[in-house]
């Protein structure tokens, strides 16, 4: 059964949700599904990182430029485009298209709508993002299916009130990293040469990533290890605040914030350990990548992190927002290399067996079939599996 899927996203970079989407579309092409990524952006943007990555992978992508905000006329144009192209499934990845597509009832939209919730940032009350999240949750009741990426999200309001609409599909990665011959850019390469060991973090520089707590923990860690460095890859609104923390704690030269870098696996593979001190998460793709690369991982007890790490079997868990706990755990991991190496090897096997993009793609296909052909076909697809 050939299925035409229009993936809808307005991305701000090339982070977890974007990488999940690229992995999914790549596997869907191999599986005979006909996906198309519709990447929205404002008219002043030439090419987004997601679009560039899709082009380089040879994946189908359409740039769609439109004014920012709740642009309903443009949303109607996208819906008309989907109908002209014979799209059978609209698949939204983010609050923008949850709103722009969810606003149209099924009787007008005609095409089934599925939304994947990659995670919420738990924005401050009455902030702009808080209102977006509020509107987003209100629109979820209009979706034919809502996919969550970790079990904890099933308890979110209003999802717990509509269990029949909710599906759990955990993120997966394409296990084909070859970092043996990879080279880093000169700035980061020089940083690795200047430090005896480097710990790191990868992700958007935003408050919910908890990177300020990592910097505080690193400041306490630094006196215990000769010439240790902290590398934080990513870009975002918190850059200035993080740079102020670095200066306040006298960490200039010991912490590097080089910005966003392509092919993060090449950088992750060089780390002594990866820290993920998030305050909220879905199921981080960076976590899966680090584990598959035999890199020890320390993560917060939020979102899907505890489940992926099997509650400590394949990594270390810390309390979110607790720099002391993070410092003590980092100290333990760096001081016990044999245990860290053993856990990392077990973690790599765990990810390669349970979190692949192939399994993720197959799970989404079953959901698509159910939406197109009805509940009986959905049940049949699950029985076949």
Which are the contacts of 218, defined by CB distance < 8 A and separation ≥ 6?
199, 228, 230, 251, 254, 255, 327, 330
Burial of residue 282, with CB atoms counted within 10 A of its CB: 0-12 exposed, 13-18 middle, 19 or more buried: buried
Rounded CA-CA distance 143/7 in Å is: 15
The H-or-E segment that residue 8 falls in is strand 4-9
Residues in the chain: 385
Contact 268, 290 (CB under 8 A): yes
Tokens of residue 340, six digits? 């860290």
Q: State the pTM of this model.
A: 0.88
Contact 365, 91 (CB under 8 A): no
Tokens of residue 172, six digits? 């997966």
Give me the average pLDDT of each 10-residue run along the chain (385 residues): 93 89 96 97 95 96 94 97 98 94 94 92 74 84 94 88 94 75 85 96 94 98 96 96 98 96 89 97 93 97 95 97 98 97 97 94 97 63 43
Q: What is the predicted pLDDT for the residue at 375?
A: 55
Helix (H, G, I), strand (E, B) or coil at 201: strand
**Of 290, 135, 281, 312, which is closest to residue 204 (Cα–Cα)?**
281
Could you please state the CATH topology (level 3) that the domain comprising 186-354 is classified under: Rossmann fold (3.40.50)
Helix (H, G, I), strand (E, B) or coil at 43: coil
Rounded CA-CA distance 146/156 in Å is: 12
Q: What is the predicted pLDDT for the residue at 216?
A: 98
Strand order of the sheet with strand 34-41? 61-65, 34-41, 4-9, 89-92, 113-117, 145-148, 166-168
Task: Locate CATH 3.40.50.2000 in the chain.
Answer: 4-173+356-384, 186-354
Integer-rounded Cα radius of gyration of the chain = 21
Contact 273, 334 (CB under 8 A): yes
Helix (H, G, I), strand (E, B) or coil at 168: strand
Contact 65, 42 (CB under 8 A): yes
Rounded CA-CA distance 40/38 in Å is: 6
Instruction: Specify the CATH number of the domain 4-173+356-384.
Output: 3.40.50.2000
Contact 40, 2 (CB under 8 A): no
Q: What is the predicted pLDDT for the residue at 20?
A: 94
Contacts 24+ apart (CB under 8 A), 328-335: 329/298, 330/199, 330/217, 330/218, 330/221, 330/273, 330/275, 330/298, 331/221, 331/224, 333/273, 333/296, 333/298, 334/197, 334/199, 334/221, 334/225, 334/272, 334/273
Peptide bond into 189 cis (omega under 30): no
Rounded CA-CA distance 14/268 in Å is: 16
DSSP-derived letter for residue 208 is G
Which are the contacts of 291, defined by CB distance < 8 A and separation ≥ 6?
297, 308, 314, 315, 344, 347, 348, 350, 351
């Amino acid at each position: 059964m050939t299925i035409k899927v229009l993936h809808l996203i307005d991305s701000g970079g090339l982070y977890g949700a974007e990488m999940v989407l690229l992995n999914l579309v790549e596997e869907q092409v191999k599986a005979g599904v006909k996906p198309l990524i519709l990447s929205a952006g404002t008219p002043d943007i030439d090419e987004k990182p997601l679009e560039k990555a899709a082009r380089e992978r040879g994946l189908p992508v359409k740039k769609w430029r439109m004014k920012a905000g709740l642009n309903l006329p443009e949303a109607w144009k996208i819906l008309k485009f989907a109908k002209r192209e014979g799209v059978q499934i609209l698949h939204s990845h983010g609050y923008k298209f949850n709103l722009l597509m969810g606003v149209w009832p099924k009787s007008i939209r005609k095409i089934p709508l599925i939304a994947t919730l990659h995670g919420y940032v738990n924005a401050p009350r009455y902030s702009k993002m808080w209102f977006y999240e509020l509107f987003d949750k209100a629109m979820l009741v209009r979706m034919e299916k809502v996919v969550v990426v970790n079990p904890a999200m099933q308890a979110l309001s209003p999802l717990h009130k509509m269990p029949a609409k909710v599906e759990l599909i955990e993120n997966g990665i394409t296990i084909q990293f070859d970092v043996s011959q990879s080279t880093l850019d000169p700035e980061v390469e020089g940083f690795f040469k200047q430090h005896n060991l480097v710990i790191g973090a990868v992700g958007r520089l935003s408050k919910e990533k908890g990177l300020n707590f990592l910097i505080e923990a690193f400041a306490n860690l630094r006196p215990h290890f000769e010439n240790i460095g902290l590398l934080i890859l990513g870009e975002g609104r918190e850059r200035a605040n993080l740079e102020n923390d670095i200066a306040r704690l006298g960490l200039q030269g010991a912490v590097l914030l080089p910005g966003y870098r392509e092919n993060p696996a090449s950088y992750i593979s060089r780390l002594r350990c990866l820290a993920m001190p998030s305050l909220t998460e879905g199921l981080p793709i960076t976590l899966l990548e680090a584990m598959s690369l035999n890199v020890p991982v320390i993560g917060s007890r939020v979102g899907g992190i505890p489940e992926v790490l099997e509650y400590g079997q394949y990594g270390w868990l810390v309390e979110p927002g607790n720099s002391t706990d993070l410092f003590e755990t980092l100290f333990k991991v760096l001081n016990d290399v044999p245990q860290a190496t053993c856990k990392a090897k077990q973690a790599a096997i765990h990810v390669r067996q349970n979190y692949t993009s192939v399994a993720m793609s197959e799970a989404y296909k079953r959901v698509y079939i159910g939406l197109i052909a009805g509940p009986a076909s959905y049940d049949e697809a699950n029985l076949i599996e």
